Structure 1
Amino acid sequence: MPPEEATTAPGPAKPPTIHDVARLAGVSTSTVSRVLDPRVPPSRSAAAERVRRAADELGYTPHSVASSLRRRGTSTIGVLVPRLTDTVMAILYEELARACQARGYFAVVATTDDHPDTQRSAARSLLQRRVDGLVLSTARLDDPYLAELRRTNTPHALALRTDGHSPASVGDDELGGYLATRHLIDLGHRDIACVAGPAYTSSSTRRRDGFLRALAEAGITPRPAWVRESAFSMEAGEEAARALLSGAERPTAIFAINDNTAVGVLSTAMRAGLDVPRELSIVGYNDIPLAGRLPLPLTTMRVPFRDIATAAVGLVLDPAAPDATVVRPPTLIPRASTAPPG
C-alpha cells in the first residue's frame, strides 16, 4: 500500500510583498517603491499604471500589515467619511477625533464621496503615511476592500455602518426604525411611507427592516410604492416626497431614515401647502443639531455618536474578536412634526 499522505491545514494567507507587486507588474522593486512613495510626485507612465493596478489586485499597501504599523506607529488614526458637508459625518468625525485625543492619538480625515474606488485610494494614502489604523464610516454591504484589510491584518474598525464581518461600532438601526414607526402607529397612523436611504448601507437596510417589522406587528401591509430608496440628502428627501405626495392616495406619515432627507420631506410638504403634522407627520433619524431648531422642530431618533466613536477607536487600538460588533441603542425624541392624523 502507498504510504499515507500527510495532510497539513493551510495557514493564514501571507500579505503580499513588494516583490509580488514587482513580479506582477513586470518591473523592479525599486520602481514599485518609487511609484508607491507618497513623497514622490505621481507618475503617469505605463509602468507606474501597471504598478498601481498590481498593488490594487494584490491588496498591497506599504506598511499596512499590523506588525509594521505597530512597529512604526505614528500615534495617528486615519478616518474615512463619505463627506464632511454631511452633518452626521462631521459630528462623527469630531467625536472620533475626541476619542483619539483621549487615547493620545491624532485623527486624520479623508473623504471618499461614498465611492468605492475613492475609498480604496484614500485608505492607501493614509496607510502610506503610516497611520496606526483606520476607522471607516464608508462601509458597504459585501465591501471587497474591507476583505482586503482583514486579509492583510490591517487594524481597522467600522463606524455607523457595517459589512457584517469587520469589527464595527454601530447604532441599533433595526430597533431605531422600529421605534420611529411604532411612534407613528401609536399616534393612530396606518398609511405610513418610508424614505429608505441607499440599499448598499447597513444603516439604511436595518432601519427599513425595523420599519417593516413595526408595520407587520400592527397588521399593516406595506405598499411597495411607499418604500422609496434615496440618498442621504435634502434633495433626495424632496424628490421622494414629491413622488409620495403627488398621487391620488398619499400617506398620512413618513419615516425618513436620515434627518437630511426628513428636512427635504418637510420642505416639500410645506411648499405643497400641507399642514404638518395635522395632514402629514414626519420622523427623521440621527438628531442633528438642525432637527430641534427648525421652525417646526423635527421628531427624530437620537444616535449616541460619542459612544459609537469611542467604541470604534477602542476596536482599532484594543483589537477584540475579528468580527466584534458593538451596538448602541438610539432614543426617540418626539417633537412638533408628529401628531395624530387629521
Structure 2
Amino acid sequence: MATLRDVALAAGVSTSTASRVLDERLPPSRTAAADRVRQAAADLGYVRDPLAAGLRRSGTSTIGVVVPRLTDTVMAMLYEEIAAGALARGLFAVVATTHDRPEAERLAVESLLRRRVDGIIRTTARTDAPLRIDESQFGARQVLALRADGIHSTSIGDDTLGGYLATRKLIDHGHRRIGLVMGPGYATTATNRRDGYRNALVEAGIPLDDALIVGDSFSMEAGESAAHALLDLADPPTAIFAVNDNNAIGVMAAAAARGLRIPDDLSVIGYNDIPVVSKLPVPLTTIREPFNLIARGAIDLLLEDTPGDEPRTLVATPTLIPRKSTAAPRAR
C-alpha cells in the first residue's frame, strides 16, 4: 500500500507539503507542486487514512502548548500564532507554563498528556536537561518550536543567520568593538545567535574577545546588568547586540542611566521585533523572528502522517529591521 512518503517522493516535495495538499479540510492548493502531489497520489493509489496520521486523535481535537511564561511577549506572540494555526486546522490549543524549570516542564507535559491532548508543542527545550517522555503510552506526539534539543522534531528560526545579520549591521556601520548580551546557555535561540555573532566578526577579521560576551537570561533586568558590565570595561564596546528585545531594552536603560545617547554614544540592536520596540523614544533596530512561519511549521510537524524515526528541523528565515538605534561610532 502506498504511503504519504511515497507520494511525496514521487512528487518531489516534502511529506508535510504532500500532507497539506491532500488534507481535505484545507482549501485546495492550485500550485504546480500541488498538482504533482495529487497526480502522484492517483498514480500510486494512495488513500488518506485520518486514523493513520502522525497526530493520533483521541477525540479531543486539542493540542497542548508548553511555554516558559506568557508574561514574556515573545512566548505570547508565538502562542497566539500556534493557536490561530491550530484553529485553522480544526484544533484547539491550550497552554501550560513552566518558568523554564525542567521539573515544571515534565509536570506540564505529563499533565497535558493525562488530559488526552492529541499532541504537544513545546517552546521550552533545554540542551542541558532535554525532556524524554515515552509518548507511546499516551498516543500523542511532541514537537518543538523556537528551540531545539537534538531529540525531537522542531520548527525554528534561523538564529545563526539572525545573529550574523545583527552583527553585520553593526560592522557595516563601522563598529569594531561590539558587545553581545547573551541569553541562557541551555537555549539554542541564544547559543545560535551567539554563533552568528562570532561568524560575522571572524568574516570581518575582527578578533573574538570573550570579555565582550555577557549575560545569561532573557529579561530587561539581565540586559541592564550585562550592559553595565560591558560598559565598565577598560575598553568598552561602541555597539551592543542583545539576543532578545527585552535584553536590548535593558541595555538602553543602562545607557540612559549613564547619560549615554543612543545611537550617538552607543548603538544597540535587538532580536524578535516585539511590538513595543518600534514605539520606544529611540526605535530599536532588531531582527524580526518569523513567528507565523515557526508556528505553522510546528503544527505541520505535529500533523505529519509519517513522522519517521529521525527528528526533522524546519527553519524559517529572519529579517533585519533597521530603525534609529544604530549608527556609525563616534570618534573617541
- Could you state the TM-score of these two structures normalised by the residue count of structure 1? 0.78
Counterpart position of 2:43:
none
1:337 equivalent in alignment to 2:307: no
Tell me, yes or no, if the aligned pair for 2:53 and 2:303 is still in contact at 8 Å: no
Aligned runs of 1:1-342 on 2, under 5 Å? Answer: 70=56, 72-141=58-127, 143-146=129-132, 148-149=134-135, 154-319=140-305, 320-321=307-308, 322-342=310-330
Deviates more, 1:243-252 or 1:277-286: 243-252
- 1:133-160 deviation line (CA, Å, top 9, x unaligned): 0000000115442464589874111000
RMSD of Structure 2 on Structure 1 (CA): 1.9
Flag the 1:304–1:202 CA change in 2: closer, same or farther, 3 A: same
Counterpart position of 2:37:
none
- Equivalent position SS for 1:158: strand
Q: Tell me, in whole angstroms, the C-alpha distance in 2 between the residues paired with 1:120 and 1:90.
A: 20
1:73 to partner: Cα distance = 2.8
Unaligned runs of 5+ in 1: 1-65
Structure with bigger RCO (C-alpha 8 Å, 6+ apart):
2
- 1:73-108 deviation line (CA, Å, top 9, x unaligned): 310000000000000000000000001000000000
1:110 to partner: Cα distance = 0.2
Q: Tell me, in whole angstroms, the C-alpha distance in 2 between the residues paired with 1:281 and 1:133.
A: 43
Tell me, yes or no, if the aligned pair for 2:153 and 2:313 is still in contact at 8 Å: yes
Whichever residue aligns with residue 105 of structure 2, its letter is Q
Tell me, yes or no, if the aligned pair for 2:56 and 2:139 is still in contact at 8 Å: no
- Could you state the TM-score of these two structures normalised by the residue count of structure 2? 0.80
Tell me, yes or no, if the aligned pair for 2:125 and 2:131 is still in contact at 8 Å: no
Flag the 1:186–1:151 CA change in 2: closer, same or farther, 3 A: farther
- Equivalent position SS for 1:197: coil
Q: Tell me, in whole angstroms, the C-alpha distance in 2 between the residues paired with 1:167 and 1:68.
A: 12
Flag the 1:67–1:103 CA change in 2: closer, same or farther, 3 A: closer
Q: Tell me, in whole angstroms, the C-alpha distance in 1 between the residues paired with 2:53 and 2:314.
A: 25
Q: Tell me, in whole angstroms, the C-alpha distance in 2 between the residues paired with 1:131 and 1:222.
A: 47
Q: Tell me, in whole angstroms, the C-alpha distance in 1 between the residues paired with 2:112 and 2:99.
A: 16
Aligned residue-pair number? 277
Tell me, yes or no, if the aligned pair for 2:116 and 2:138 is still in contact at 8 Å: no
Flag the 1:225–1:147 CA change in 2: closer, same or farther, 3 A: farther
Q: Tell me, in whole angstroms, the C-alpha distance in 2 between the residues paired with 1:326 and 1:285.
A: 20
Flag the 1:301–1:295 CA change in 2: closer, same or farther, 3 A: same
Using the aligned pairs only, state the percent identity. 57
Tell me, yes or no, if the aligned pair for 1:174 and 1:206 is still in contact at 8 Å: yes
Unaligned runs of 5+ in 2: 1-51
- Higher alpha-carbon Rg: 1
Deviates more, 1:234-243 or 1:70-79: 70-79
- 1:195-229 deviation line (CA, Å, top 9, x unaligned): 01110011111000000000001111121111113
Q: Tell me, in whole angstroms, the C-alpha distance in 1 between the residues paired with 2:206 and 2:139.
A: 46
